[in-house]
Structure 1
Amino acid sequence: MREIIKVERHNAVVKNIGAEKVAVRFSPYAGFQGSEKTDFIELYTYLIMELKKMNVKFAYLSLVEATGDPGVLIRDEKNINVGKTLDFILEALDNYAPVMVARGYQPDSAAWVVEEPYKKWDLMVAFGLHFIANPDLVFRFQHGIPLTKYKRATVYLKKQWEGYNDYPFGHEFLKAHPRPYIL
Protein backbone atom coordinates (compact mmCIF):
# COMPACT_ATOMS: atom_id res chain seq x y z
CA MET A 1 0.00 0.00 0.00
CA ARG A 2 2.85 2.38 0.82
CA GLU A 3 4.22 1.96 -2.73
CA ILE A 4 0.83 2.85 -4.28
CA ILE A 5 0.68 6.04 -2.22
CA LYS A 6 4.15 6.92 -3.49
CA VAL A 7 2.96 6.50 -7.10
CA GLU A 8 0.06 8.88 -6.39
CA ARG A 9 2.50 11.41 -4.91
CA HIS A 10 4.68 11.17 -8.01
CA ASN A 11 1.60 11.89 -10.11
CA ALA A 12 0.95 15.06 -8.11
CA VAL A 13 4.60 16.11 -8.43
CA VAL A 14 4.51 15.48 -12.18
CA LYS A 15 1.46 17.71 -12.52
CA ASN A 16 3.18 20.52 -10.60
CA ILE A 17 6.75 20.55 -11.95
CA GLY A 18 6.75 18.31 -15.02
CA ALA A 19 7.75 14.68 -15.48
CA GLU A 20 11.13 15.58 -16.97
CA LYS A 21 12.14 16.85 -13.50
CA VAL A 22 10.89 13.77 -11.62
CA ALA A 23 12.87 10.64 -10.84
CA VAL A 24 11.54 7.51 -9.18
CA ARG A 25 13.70 5.27 -6.98
CA PHE A 26 13.05 1.59 -6.29
CA SER A 27 15.03 -0.77 -4.07
CA PRO A 28 13.32 -4.09 -4.78
CA TYR A 29 15.71 -6.19 -2.72
CA ALA A 30 16.06 -3.94 0.32
CA GLY A 31 15.09 -5.30 3.69
CA PHE A 32 16.00 -2.11 5.52
CA GLN A 33 13.60 -0.92 8.22
CA GLY A 34 11.16 -3.77 7.69
CA SER A 35 10.70 -3.33 3.94
CA GLU A 36 11.11 -7.02 3.09
CA LYS A 37 8.75 -8.21 0.38
CA THR A 38 7.96 -11.76 -0.70
CA ASP A 39 6.05 -10.65 -3.81
CA PHE A 40 8.62 -8.11 -5.02
CA ILE A 41 8.50 -9.20 -8.68
CA GLU A 42 4.73 -8.76 -8.88
CA LEU A 43 4.83 -5.57 -6.81
CA TYR A 44 7.50 -3.76 -8.80
CA THR A 45 6.17 -4.98 -12.14
CA TYR A 46 2.80 -3.54 -11.13
CA LEU A 47 4.40 -0.25 -10.11
CA ILE A 48 6.24 0.02 -13.42
CA MET A 49 3.00 -0.60 -15.30
CA GLU A 50 1.26 2.10 -13.23
CA LEU A 51 4.05 4.57 -13.95
CA LYS A 52 3.82 3.79 -17.66
CA LYS A 53 0.04 4.36 -17.56
CA MET A 54 0.77 7.94 -16.56
CA ASN A 55 2.02 8.34 -20.15
CA VAL A 56 4.76 10.83 -19.24
CA LYS A 57 8.52 10.71 -19.66
CA PHE A 58 10.28 10.74 -16.29
CA ALA A 59 13.80 12.07 -15.89
CA TYR A 60 14.92 8.57 -14.89
CA LEU A 61 14.17 5.54 -12.76
CA SER A 62 16.74 4.92 -10.04
CA LEU A 63 17.24 1.26 -9.11
CA VAL A 64 19.31 -0.16 -6.29
CA GLU A 65 20.75 -3.55 -7.11
CA ALA A 66 20.62 -6.49 -4.70
CA THR A 67 23.96 -5.79 -3.06
CA GLY A 68 22.92 -2.25 -2.24
CA ASP A 69 20.59 -3.18 0.65
CA PRO A 70 21.37 -0.72 3.48
CA GLY A 71 20.51 -3.38 6.07
CA VAL A 72 23.31 -5.55 4.73
CA LEU A 73 25.73 -2.66 4.51
CA ILE A 74 25.01 -0.92 7.80
CA ARG A 75 24.36 -3.80 10.15
CA ASP A 76 26.58 -6.41 8.46
CA GLU A 77 23.54 -8.62 7.89
CA LYS A 78 23.79 -11.66 5.67
CA ASN A 79 22.94 -10.71 2.10
CA ILE A 80 20.26 -13.11 0.90
CA ASN A 81 19.92 -11.35 -2.44
CA VAL A 82 23.25 -12.24 -4.04
CA GLY A 83 22.79 -13.02 -7.71
CA LYS A 84 19.35 -11.45 -8.03
CA THR A 85 19.03 -9.05 -10.94
CA LEU A 86 16.95 -6.08 -11.99
CA ASP A 87 16.12 -7.72 -15.30
CA PHE A 88 12.42 -8.12 -14.50
CA ILE A 89 12.09 -4.36 -13.88
CA LEU A 90 14.10 -3.44 -16.96
CA GLU A 91 12.00 -5.78 -19.10
CA ALA A 92 8.77 -4.29 -17.73
CA LEU A 93 10.08 -0.75 -18.21
CA ASP A 94 11.25 -1.56 -21.76
CA ASN A 95 13.30 1.65 -22.10
CA TYR A 96 10.27 3.79 -21.27
CA ALA A 97 12.59 5.99 -19.21
CA PRO A 98 16.34 6.14 -18.62
CA VAL A 99 17.55 4.04 -15.69
CA MET A 100 20.21 4.76 -13.09
CA VAL A 101 21.62 1.76 -11.22
CA ALA A 102 23.46 1.91 -7.91
CA ARG A 103 25.62 -0.74 -6.28
CA GLY A 104 29.02 0.55 -5.21
CA TYR A 105 30.49 0.55 -8.70
CA GLN A 106 34.06 1.46 -9.55
CA PRO A 107 34.97 3.00 -12.94
CA ASP A 108 35.85 -0.36 -14.54
CA SER A 109 32.81 -2.20 -13.20
CA ALA A 110 30.55 0.70 -14.20
CA ALA A 111 31.84 0.58 -17.77
CA TRP A 112 31.39 -3.18 -17.84
CA VAL A 113 27.80 -3.12 -16.54
CA VAL A 114 26.80 -0.52 -19.14
CA GLU A 115 28.53 -2.36 -21.99
CA GLU A 116 27.60 -5.93 -21.08
CA PRO A 117 24.63 -7.04 -18.96
CA TYR A 118 22.66 -3.79 -19.36
CA LYS A 119 23.73 -2.88 -22.89
CA LYS A 120 20.23 -2.91 -24.37
CA TRP A 121 18.91 -0.42 -21.82
CA ASP A 122 19.15 3.38 -21.66
CA LEU A 123 21.24 3.19 -18.49
CA MET A 124 23.62 5.21 -16.34
CA VAL A 125 25.51 4.33 -13.17
CA ALA A 126 25.32 6.13 -9.82
CA PHE A 127 28.34 6.65 -7.58
CA GLY A 128 26.49 7.79 -4.43
CA LEU A 129 28.76 6.98 -1.49
CA HIS A 130 31.90 7.20 -3.60
CA PHE A 131 30.79 10.64 -4.74
CA ILE A 132 30.24 11.75 -1.15
CA ALA A 133 33.70 10.53 -0.10
CA ASN A 134 35.45 11.98 -3.16
CA PRO A 135 34.53 15.60 -3.96
CA ASP A 136 36.98 15.26 -6.86
CA LEU A 137 35.46 11.98 -8.12
CA VAL A 138 35.51 12.78 -11.84
CA PHE A 139 39.13 13.97 -11.65
CA ARG A 140 40.08 10.72 -9.88
CA PHE A 141 38.32 8.66 -12.56
CA GLN A 142 40.00 10.62 -15.35
CA HIS A 143 43.47 10.21 -13.85
CA GLY A 144 43.21 6.69 -12.41
CA ILE A 145 43.59 7.92 -8.83
CA PRO A 146 42.32 5.52 -6.15
CA LEU A 147 39.11 6.52 -4.41
CA THR A 148 38.93 7.62 -0.80
CA LYS A 149 37.00 5.01 1.17
CA TYR A 150 33.75 6.31 2.62
CA LYS A 151 33.13 5.96 6.34
CA ARG A 152 30.39 3.36 6.66
CA ALA A 153 29.77 4.17 10.34
CA THR A 154 28.74 7.74 9.47
CA VAL A 155 26.33 6.85 6.66
CA TYR A 156 22.63 7.47 7.31
CA LEU A 157 23.18 9.27 10.61
CA LYS A 158 20.67 12.03 11.25
CA LYS A 159 21.79 15.63 11.36
CA GLN A 160 25.47 14.80 10.99
CA TRP A 161 28.11 16.74 9.11
CA GLU A 162 30.73 14.04 9.49
CA GLY A 163 30.78 11.50 6.70
CA TYR A 164 28.99 13.71 4.19
CA ASN A 165 30.70 17.07 4.01
CA ASP A 166 34.08 16.53 5.61
CA TYR A 167 35.98 14.62 2.92
CA PRO A 168 38.93 16.57 1.50
CA PHE A 169 39.94 17.00 -2.11
CA GLY A 170 42.91 14.80 -3.05
CA HIS A 171 46.36 16.38 -3.23
CA GLU A 172 46.57 15.64 -6.99
CA PHE A 173 43.37 17.58 -7.59
CA LEU A 174 44.51 20.47 -5.39
CA LYS A 175 47.82 20.63 -7.28
CA ALA A 176 45.94 20.83 -10.60
CA HIS A 177 43.25 23.17 -9.21
CA PRO A 178 44.78 25.37 -6.48
CA ARG A 179 41.46 27.09 -5.76
CA PRO A 180 38.70 24.48 -6.02
CA TYR A 181 35.16 25.67 -5.76
CA ILE A 182 33.81 24.76 -2.37
CA LEU A 183 30.24 25.60 -1.49
Structure 2
Amino acid sequence: MKKNSLFDSFILGSQQLNNRVIMSPMTRTRSSAGDEPNALTAKYYGQRASAGLIITEAVNIAPHGKGYLWTPGIYTTGQIEGWRHVTDQVHDNGGKIFAQIWHVGRMSHVSMMPGGEAPWGVTNEQAVGWDVFAHDEHGKLTFVPASVPRELRTDEIPGLVNDFRNAFKNMKEVGFDGVELHAANGYIFEQFMNATLNTRTDHYGGQTVGGRLRFTLEVVDAAIEVLGAGNVGVRLSPFGTYNGIPDSDLMEETYFALIHELQNRGIGYIHLVYELLPKGNIEQAVFENETLPVKLLKRTRDIFKGAIIWCGGFNQEKAQDALDTGLVDLIAFGRPFIANPDLVERFRHKWPIAVADRSAFYTRNGEVGYTDFPFYNAG
Protein backbone atom coordinates (compact mmCIF):
# COMPACT_ATOMS: atom_id res chain seq x y z
CA MET A 1 0.00 0.00 0.00
CA LYS A 2 1.34 3.44 -0.96
CA LYS A 3 2.28 5.52 2.03
CA ASN A 4 1.12 9.11 2.24
CA SER A 5 3.55 11.97 1.84
CA LEU A 6 3.50 15.31 3.66
CA PHE A 7 2.98 16.83 0.23
CA ASP A 8 -0.06 14.79 -0.79
CA SER A 9 -3.42 16.55 -0.91
CA PHE A 10 -6.13 15.61 1.60
CA ILE A 11 -9.91 15.95 1.82
CA LEU A 12 -10.86 17.37 5.22
CA GLY A 13 -14.62 17.52 5.58
CA SER A 14 -15.70 19.73 2.70
CA GLN A 15 -12.22 21.20 2.23
CA GLN A 16 -9.48 20.03 -0.12
CA LEU A 17 -6.08 20.71 1.45
CA ASN A 18 -3.09 21.12 -0.85
CA ASN A 19 -0.81 19.18 1.49
CA ARG A 20 -0.75 17.54 4.92
CA VAL A 21 1.36 20.20 6.66
CA ILE A 22 -0.81 22.06 9.17
CA MET A 23 0.10 25.38 10.77
CA SER A 24 -0.61 24.87 14.45
CA PRO A 25 -2.38 27.55 16.51
CA MET A 26 0.12 29.83 18.27
CA THR A 27 -0.67 32.76 20.54
CA ARG A 28 1.37 35.75 19.33
CA THR A 29 -0.18 38.63 21.43
CA ARG A 30 -0.10 41.00 18.45
CA SER A 31 -3.64 42.35 18.35
CA SER A 32 -4.41 46.07 18.19
CA ALA A 33 -6.44 48.06 20.71
CA GLY A 34 -9.83 46.48 21.23
CA ASP A 35 -8.28 43.04 20.65
CA GLU A 36 -8.67 43.54 16.90
CA PRO A 37 -6.68 41.67 14.24
CA ASN A 38 -4.85 44.23 12.13
CA ALA A 39 -3.06 44.58 8.79
CA LEU A 40 0.00 42.79 10.15
CA THR A 41 -2.19 39.91 11.32
CA ALA A 42 -3.51 39.53 7.79
CA LYS A 43 0.00 39.73 6.34
CA TYR A 44 1.32 37.16 8.83
CA TYR A 45 -1.29 34.54 7.99
CA GLY A 46 -1.27 35.37 4.29
CA GLN A 47 2.48 34.74 4.16
CA ARG A 48 1.91 31.21 5.48
CA ALA A 49 -0.98 30.27 3.19
CA SER A 50 1.02 27.47 1.54
CA ALA A 51 0.28 25.32 4.60
CA GLY A 52 -2.36 22.70 3.86
CA LEU A 53 -4.41 24.34 6.61
CA ILE A 54 -3.78 27.29 8.91
CA ILE A 55 -5.32 27.09 12.37
CA THR A 56 -5.26 30.55 13.92
CA GLU A 57 -4.15 31.59 17.35
CA ALA A 58 -6.88 31.12 19.94
CA VAL A 59 -9.71 33.63 19.55
CA ASN A 60 -11.78 35.03 22.44
CA ILE A 61 -15.56 34.62 22.23
CA ALA A 62 -16.35 37.39 24.72
CA PRO A 63 -14.58 39.69 27.21
CA HIS A 64 -15.12 37.17 30.02
CA GLY A 65 -13.24 34.47 28.09
CA LYS A 66 -9.93 36.32 27.86
CA GLY A 67 -6.86 35.14 29.74
CA TYR A 68 -3.93 36.84 28.01
CA LEU A 69 -3.50 40.46 26.92
CA TRP A 70 -3.35 41.34 23.20
CA THR A 71 -5.16 38.18 22.11
CA PRO A 72 -7.85 38.71 19.45
CA GLY A 73 -11.59 38.41 19.83
CA ILE A 74 -14.44 37.90 17.39
CA TYR A 75 -17.38 39.61 19.11
CA THR A 76 -17.09 43.32 18.16
CA THR A 77 -17.52 44.99 14.78
CA GLY A 78 -13.84 45.95 14.65
CA GLN A 79 -12.70 42.44 15.47
CA ILE A 80 -15.01 40.92 12.88
CA GLU A 81 -13.77 43.27 10.17
CA GLY A 82 -10.17 42.55 11.13
CA TRP A 83 -10.69 38.82 10.66
CA ARG A 84 -12.36 39.41 7.30
CA HIS A 85 -9.09 40.89 6.03
CA VAL A 86 -7.21 37.86 7.38
CA THR A 87 -9.39 35.28 5.65
CA ASP A 88 -9.35 37.30 2.42
CA GLN A 89 -5.56 37.41 2.45
CA VAL A 90 -5.22 33.68 3.07
CA HIS A 91 -7.78 32.77 0.41
CA ASP A 92 -6.23 35.17 -2.11
CA ASN A 93 -2.97 33.27 -1.60
CA GLY A 94 -4.64 29.90 -2.17
CA GLY A 95 -4.85 28.76 1.46
CA LYS A 96 -7.41 27.38 3.89
CA ILE A 97 -7.91 28.76 7.40
CA PHE A 98 -9.79 27.57 10.48
CA ALA A 99 -10.17 29.73 13.59
CA GLN A 100 -9.28 28.21 16.91
CA ILE A 101 -11.83 29.29 19.52
CA TRP A 102 -11.42 29.28 23.28
CA HIS A 103 -12.60 30.38 26.66
CA VAL A 104 -9.87 30.24 29.28
CA GLY A 105 -12.19 29.58 32.23
CA ARG A 106 -10.26 29.99 35.47
CA MET A 107 -7.00 30.82 33.64
CA SER A 108 -7.44 34.58 33.80
CA HIS A 109 -6.79 37.56 36.07
CA VAL A 110 -9.24 40.06 37.53
CA SER A 111 -7.49 42.91 35.68
CA MET A 112 -8.69 41.47 32.35
CA MET A 113 -12.22 40.57 33.41
CA PRO A 114 -15.17 42.93 32.84
CA GLY A 115 -15.63 45.10 35.90
CA GLY A 116 -12.72 43.39 37.62
CA GLU A 117 -14.84 40.33 38.42
CA ALA A 118 -13.36 36.93 39.21
CA PRO A 119 -12.62 34.58 36.28
CA TRP A 120 -15.31 32.07 35.40
CA GLY A 121 -14.49 28.65 36.80
CA VAL A 122 -15.98 25.20 36.70
CA THR A 123 -15.49 25.44 40.46
CA ASN A 124 -13.92 28.10 42.69
CA GLU A 125 -10.59 26.24 42.84
CA GLN A 126 -7.60 28.36 41.83
CA ALA A 127 -4.92 27.14 39.39
CA VAL A 128 -2.20 27.53 42.01
CA GLY A 129 1.29 28.02 40.59
CA TRP A 130 0.11 28.92 37.08
CA ASP A 131 0.42 32.34 35.45
CA VAL A 132 -1.36 34.42 32.81
CA PHE A 133 -0.12 37.41 30.77
CA ALA A 134 -1.54 40.63 32.23
CA HIS A 135 -0.66 43.90 33.95
CA ASP A 136 0.74 43.60 37.46
CA GLU A 137 -0.08 46.01 40.29
CA HIS A 138 2.46 48.48 38.86
CA GLY A 139 0.93 48.39 35.39
CA LYS A 140 3.79 46.38 33.92
CA LEU A 141 3.06 43.75 31.27
CA THR A 142 4.21 40.47 32.73
CA PHE A 143 3.09 37.05 33.88
CA VAL A 144 0.93 37.14 37.00
CA PRO A 145 -0.75 34.35 38.99
CA ALA A 146 -4.18 33.30 37.77
CA SER A 147 -6.84 34.75 40.05
CA VAL A 148 -9.20 32.78 42.26
CA PRO A 149 -12.24 32.00 40.06
CA ARG A 150 -15.91 31.92 40.90
CA GLU A 151 -17.95 28.83 40.10
CA LEU A 152 -20.29 29.26 37.15
CA ARG A 153 -23.92 28.90 38.10
CA THR A 154 -25.86 26.23 36.23
CA ASP A 155 -28.23 28.82 34.79
CA GLU A 156 -25.27 30.76 33.30
CA ILE A 157 -23.97 27.90 31.18
CA PRO A 158 -26.58 28.09 28.39
CA GLY A 159 -25.60 31.74 27.92
CA LEU A 160 -21.96 30.73 27.65
CA VAL A 161 -22.85 28.15 25.00
CA ASN A 162 -24.70 30.89 23.13
CA ASP A 163 -21.60 33.11 23.26
CA PHE A 164 -19.78 30.32 21.42
CA ARG A 165 -22.67 30.02 18.95
CA ASN A 166 -22.49 33.74 18.18
CA ALA A 167 -18.73 33.45 17.65
CA PHE A 168 -19.30 30.62 15.17
CA LYS A 169 -21.78 32.79 13.27
CA ASN A 170 -19.24 35.61 13.12
CA MET A 171 -16.60 33.17 11.86
CA LYS A 172 -18.90 32.02 9.10
CA GLU A 173 -19.70 35.62 8.19
CA VAL A 174 -16.04 36.59 7.72
CA GLY A 175 -15.16 33.56 5.63
CA PHE A 176 -13.34 31.14 7.89
CA ASP A 177 -13.31 27.66 6.38
CA GLY A 178 -14.06 26.07 9.76
CA VAL A 179 -13.41 26.15 13.49
CA GLU A 180 -11.30 24.28 16.01
CA LEU A 181 -12.43 24.10 19.65
CA HIS A 182 -9.48 24.50 21.99
CA ALA A 183 -10.34 21.67 24.39
CA ALA A 184 -6.71 21.13 25.44
CA ASN A 185 -4.14 22.70 27.76
CA GLY A 186 -6.29 23.26 30.81
CA TYR A 187 -8.83 25.78 29.51
CA ILE A 188 -12.56 25.68 30.11
CA PHE A 189 -13.47 22.54 28.16
CA GLU A 190 -10.75 20.50 29.85
CA GLN A 191 -11.72 21.98 33.21
CA PHE A 192 -15.22 20.55 32.77
CA MET A 193 -13.92 17.22 31.46
CA ASN A 194 -11.46 16.56 34.29
CA ALA A 195 -13.05 14.28 36.90
CA THR A 196 -10.73 15.45 39.68
CA LEU A 197 -11.18 19.17 39.17
CA ASN A 198 -14.86 19.10 38.27
CA THR A 199 -16.54 18.58 41.63
CA ARG A 200 -19.82 20.18 40.56
CA THR A 201 -22.99 18.42 41.67
CA ASP A 202 -25.32 19.60 38.88
CA HIS A 203 -25.81 17.86 35.52
CA TYR A 204 -22.48 19.31 34.35
CA GLY A 205 -20.72 17.66 37.28
CA GLY A 206 -17.75 15.34 37.19
CA GLN A 207 -19.25 12.30 38.90
CA THR A 208 -20.51 10.90 35.59
CA VAL A 209 -18.92 10.83 32.16
CA GLY A 210 -22.07 12.38 30.71
CA GLY A 211 -21.78 15.27 33.12
CA ARG A 212 -18.11 15.80 32.34
CA LEU A 213 -18.75 15.89 28.59
CA ARG A 214 -22.06 17.79 28.54
CA PHE A 215 -20.69 21.33 28.17
CA THR A 216 -18.12 20.42 25.52
CA LEU A 217 -20.66 18.52 23.45
CA GLU A 218 -23.20 21.35 23.70
CA VAL A 219 -20.61 23.68 22.17
CA VAL A 220 -19.64 21.11 19.53
CA ASP A 221 -23.31 20.81 18.59
CA ALA A 222 -23.58 24.60 18.30
CA ALA A 223 -20.57 24.62 15.97
CA ILE A 224 -22.08 21.86 13.82
CA GLU A 225 -25.38 23.73 13.66
CA VAL A 226 -23.67 26.86 12.30
CA LEU A 227 -20.75 25.52 10.25
CA GLY A 228 -21.52 21.89 9.40
CA ALA A 229 -19.92 18.86 11.04
CA GLY A 230 -17.12 18.45 8.50
CA ASN A 231 -15.88 21.97 9.20
CA VAL A 232 -15.46 21.41 12.94
CA GLY A 233 -12.34 20.16 14.72
CA VAL A 234 -11.49 19.64 18.39
CA ARG A 235 -8.02 19.93 19.93
CA LEU A 236 -7.28 17.58 22.85
CA SER A 237 -4.34 16.90 25.14
CA PRO A 238 -5.06 13.61 26.98
CA PHE A 239 -2.77 13.02 29.97
CA GLY A 240 -1.89 16.72 29.93
CA THR A 241 -1.43 18.60 33.22
CA TYR A 242 -0.80 22.08 31.78
CA ASN A 243 -2.43 25.02 33.59
CA GLY A 244 -2.96 22.97 36.73
CA ILE A 245 -5.12 20.18 35.32
CA PRO A 246 -4.83 17.41 37.93
CA ASP A 247 -4.28 13.74 37.24
CA SER A 248 -7.46 11.69 36.92
CA ASP A 249 -7.94 7.94 37.03
CA LEU A 250 -10.91 8.49 34.72
CA MET A 251 -8.97 10.27 31.96
CA GLU A 252 -9.10 7.38 29.49
CA GLU A 253 -12.78 6.71 30.17
CA THR A 254 -13.58 10.39 29.56
CA TYR A 255 -11.34 10.67 26.50
CA PHE A 256 -12.70 7.62 24.68
CA ALA A 257 -16.30 8.49 25.53
CA LEU A 258 -15.65 11.89 23.94
CA ILE A 259 -14.04 10.32 20.85
CA HIS A 260 -17.12 8.11 20.41
CA GLU A 261 -19.41 11.14 20.68
CA LEU A 262 -17.33 13.13 18.18
CA GLN A 263 -17.39 10.19 15.77
CA ASN A 264 -21.17 9.93 16.13
CA ARG A 265 -21.42 13.61 15.18
CA GLY A 266 -19.14 13.20 12.16
CA ILE A 267 -16.84 16.13 12.89
CA GLY A 268 -13.96 16.81 10.51
CA TYR A 269 -10.99 16.15 12.76
CA ILE A 270 -9.46 15.76 16.18
CA HIS A 271 -6.14 17.43 16.87
CA LEU A 272 -3.94 15.61 19.40
CA VAL A 273 -1.18 17.44 21.25
CA TYR A 274 1.82 15.43 22.43
CA GLU A 275 5.49 16.34 22.74
CA LEU A 276 7.97 13.90 21.21
CA LEU A 277 10.94 12.70 23.19
CA PRO A 278 14.14 14.25 21.83
CA LYS A 279 15.86 11.06 20.69
CA GLY A 280 15.16 7.78 18.95
CA ASN A 281 12.98 6.81 16.02
CA ILE A 282 9.25 7.38 15.89
CA GLU A 283 8.42 4.18 17.77
CA GLN A 284 10.88 4.97 20.56
CA ALA A 285 10.28 8.69 20.64
CA VAL A 286 6.52 8.48 20.70
CA PHE A 287 5.10 5.07 21.43
CA GLU A 288 7.38 4.34 24.38
CA ASN A 289 6.65 7.74 25.89
CA GLU A 290 4.55 7.07 28.98
CA THR A 291 2.30 10.01 28.12
CA LEU A 292 1.32 8.42 24.82
CA PRO A 293 0.75 4.68 24.97
CA VAL A 294 0.41 3.31 21.47
CA LYS A 295 -2.82 1.62 22.46
CA LEU A 296 -4.43 5.05 22.94
CA LEU A 297 -3.53 6.22 19.47
CA LYS A 298 -4.51 2.90 17.86
CA ARG A 299 -7.82 2.82 19.69
CA THR A 300 -8.48 6.43 18.70
CA ARG A 301 -7.89 5.48 15.07
CA ASP A 302 -10.21 2.47 15.42
CA ILE A 303 -13.04 4.64 16.79
CA PHE A 304 -12.66 7.89 14.90
CA LYS A 305 -13.08 7.85 11.13
CA GLY A 306 -12.46 11.54 10.52
CA ALA A 307 -8.99 13.06 10.21
CA ILE A 308 -6.45 12.93 13.03
CA ILE A 309 -3.95 15.78 13.30
CA TRP A 310 -0.88 15.21 15.44
CA CYS A 311 1.13 18.07 16.95
CA GLY A 312 4.21 17.50 19.07
CA GLY A 313 7.56 19.05 18.22
CA PHE A 314 7.95 17.34 14.84
CA ASN A 315 10.67 17.88 12.30
CA GLN A 316 10.15 16.80 8.70
CA GLU A 317 11.63 13.32 9.13
CA LYS A 318 9.65 12.45 12.23
CA ALA A 319 6.51 13.89 10.68
CA GLN A 320 6.84 11.56 7.71
CA ASP A 321 7.52 8.66 10.09
CA ALA A 322 4.29 9.47 11.91
CA LEU A 323 2.30 9.52 8.67
CA ASP A 324 3.87 6.19 7.73
CA THR A 325 2.27 4.54 10.76
CA GLY A 326 -1.15 5.10 9.19
CA LEU A 327 -2.51 6.18 12.56
CA VAL A 328 -2.62 9.90 11.76
CA ASP A 329 -3.45 11.89 8.63
CA LEU A 330 -2.00 15.35 9.10
CA ILE A 331 0.96 16.81 11.02
CA ALA A 332 0.85 20.20 12.73
CA PHE A 333 3.92 22.39 13.09
CA GLY A 334 4.05 25.40 15.38
CA ARG A 335 7.37 27.16 16.04
CA PRO A 336 8.89 26.23 12.62
CA PHE A 337 6.20 28.37 10.96
CA ILE A 338 7.29 31.47 12.89
CA ALA A 339 10.64 31.89 11.10
CA ASN A 340 9.68 29.98 7.93
CA PRO A 341 6.59 31.42 6.24
CA ASP A 342 7.44 29.12 3.31
CA LEU A 343 7.89 26.03 5.51
CA VAL A 344 6.18 23.65 3.07
CA GLU A 345 8.50 24.63 0.23
CA ARG A 346 11.53 24.39 2.49
CA PHE A 347 10.49 20.84 3.36
CA ARG A 348 9.79 20.00 -0.26
CA HIS A 349 13.18 21.21 -1.55
CA LYS A 350 15.23 20.32 1.56
CA TRP A 351 16.10 23.98 2.02
CA PRO A 352 17.49 25.10 5.43
CA ILE A 353 14.98 25.61 8.23
CA ALA A 354 15.40 28.93 10.04
CA VAL A 355 14.98 29.07 13.82
CA ALA A 356 13.36 32.06 15.49
CA ASP A 357 14.84 33.33 18.72
CA ARG A 358 12.36 32.83 21.52
CA SER A 359 12.44 36.56 22.20
CA ALA A 360 10.49 37.04 18.94
CA PHE A 361 7.55 34.88 19.96
CA TYR A 362 5.51 37.50 21.86
CA THR A 363 7.16 40.85 21.14
CA ARG A 364 5.13 43.85 19.95
CA ASN A 365 7.70 45.62 17.75
CA GLY A 366 5.66 45.95 14.59
CA GLU A 367 6.90 43.56 11.92
CA VAL A 368 9.97 42.51 13.90
CA GLY A 369 9.75 38.83 14.81
CA TYR A 370 6.36 38.58 13.14
CA THR A 371 6.18 39.33 9.42
CA ASP A 372 9.84 40.15 8.70
CA PHE A 373 11.09 36.56 8.32
CA PRO A 374 12.19 36.09 4.68
CA PHE A 375 11.16 33.46 2.20
CA TYR A 376 14.09 31.29 1.16
CA ASN A 377 16.09 32.58 -1.79
CA ALA A 378 17.33 29.58 -3.75
CA GLY A 379 19.55 31.89 -5.81
TM-score (norm 2): 0.36
Distance change (3 Å), C-alpha of 1:142 and 1:45: same
- What is the distance in 2 between the residues matched to 1:170 and 1:112? 25
Unpaired segments of 5 or more residues in structure 1? 69-80, 176-183
Distance change (3 Å), C-alpha of 1:154 and 1:122: same
SS at match of 1:105: coil
After superposition, the C-alpha distances for 1:130-183 in whole angstroms (9 at most, x for unaligned) are 12321111121122112111333444x4978654434222232xx4xxxxxxxx
- What is the distance in 2 between the residues matched to 1:138 and 1:52? 30
Match of 2:335 in 1: 129
Query: What amino acid is the match of 1:97?
Result: G
Please tell me whether the aligned partners of residues 224 and 232 of structure 2 are also in contact (alpha carbons under 8 angstroms): yes
Please tell me whether the aligned partners of residues 48 and 89 of structure 1 are also in contact (alpha carbons under 8 angstroms): no
Unpaired segments of 5 or more residues in structure 2? 1-190, 194-212, 278-287
Structural mapping, 1:1-183, within 5 Å: 2-3=192-193, 4=213, 5-39=215-249, 40-54=251-265, 56=266, 58-67=267-276, 82-85=289-292, 87=294, 88-94=296-302, 95-115=304-324, 118-119=325-326, 121-155=327-361, 157=362, 163-172=369-378, 175=379
The sequence identity of aligned pairs, in percent, is 28
Please tell me whether the aligned partners of residues 309 and 330 of structure 2 are also in contact (alpha carbons under 8 angstroms): yes
Distance change (3 Å), C-alpha of 1:168 and 1:65: same
SS at match of 1:165: coil
- What is the distance in 2 between the residues matched to 1:41 and 1:164? 38
Distance change (3 Å), C-alpha of 1:91 and 1:2: same
Name whichever structure is richer in helix by fraction: 1
| Deviation of 1:37 (Å) | 3.1
Distance change (3 Å), C-alpha of 1:140 and 1:92: closer
Number of residue pairs matched?
155
- What is the distance in 2 between the residues matched to 1:85 and 1:103? 11
| Deviation of 1:113 (Å) | 1.4
SS at match of 1:84: coil
Match of 1:73 in 2: none
Match of 1:72 in 2: none
Distance change (3 Å), C-alpha of 1:142 and 1:18: same
Match of 1:78 in 2: none
SS at match of 1:171: coil
Please tell me whether the aligned partners of residues 275 and 311 of structure 2 are also in contact (alpha carbons under 8 angstroms): no
- What is the distance in 1 between the residues matched to 2:330 and 2:314? 11
Aligned-residue RMSD, C-alpha = 2.8
Name whichever structure is richer in strand by fraction: 2
| Deviation of 1:93 (Å) | 4.6
After superposition, the C-alpha distances for 1:28-78 in whole angstroms (9 at most, x for unaligned) are 133221124333322211211222233x2x22111111449xxxxxxxxxx
TM-score (norm 1): 0.70
- What is the distance in 2 between the residues matched to 1:170 and 1:41? 44
- What is the distance in 2 between the residues matched to 1:154 and 1:28? 29
